[in-house]
Amino acid sequence: MRVPVPMPKLGEEDQARISAWLKAVGDTVELGEPIAEIETDKATLDLESTHAGQLVEIVHDAGAEVDVGEVIAYLEVAE
């Protein structure tokens, strides 16, 4: 099953920047494992995976400014 990874809400910001991807397409991801670094004007935080599976698509590259709630990647997880 393909699961979207949305840009999380960090504080009061309506957008955030993907400063780095910590995983690449094809990598296995564990539940709670950091998959990207997300940056706002005030902080840089690790985005942790909400599912275990495989990163199958990165929608926005590092450096992209993305609206909160917009899909930034997809995971393939077992049903």
CB 21 within 8 A of CB 5: no
Q: Considering Cα of 16, then 19, then 25, then 27, what sign does the dihedral take?
A: negative
- Going residue by residue through the chain, which has 79 residues, state the pLDDT in tens, using 9 for 90 and above: 999 999 998 878 899 999 999 999 999 999 999 999 999 888 899 999 999 999 999 999 999 999 999 999 999 998 7
Distance CA 30, CA 49 (A): 7
Go through the domains of the chain in sequence order and give each one's CATH number: 2-76 (2.40.50.100)
Distance CA 64, CA 4 (A): 17
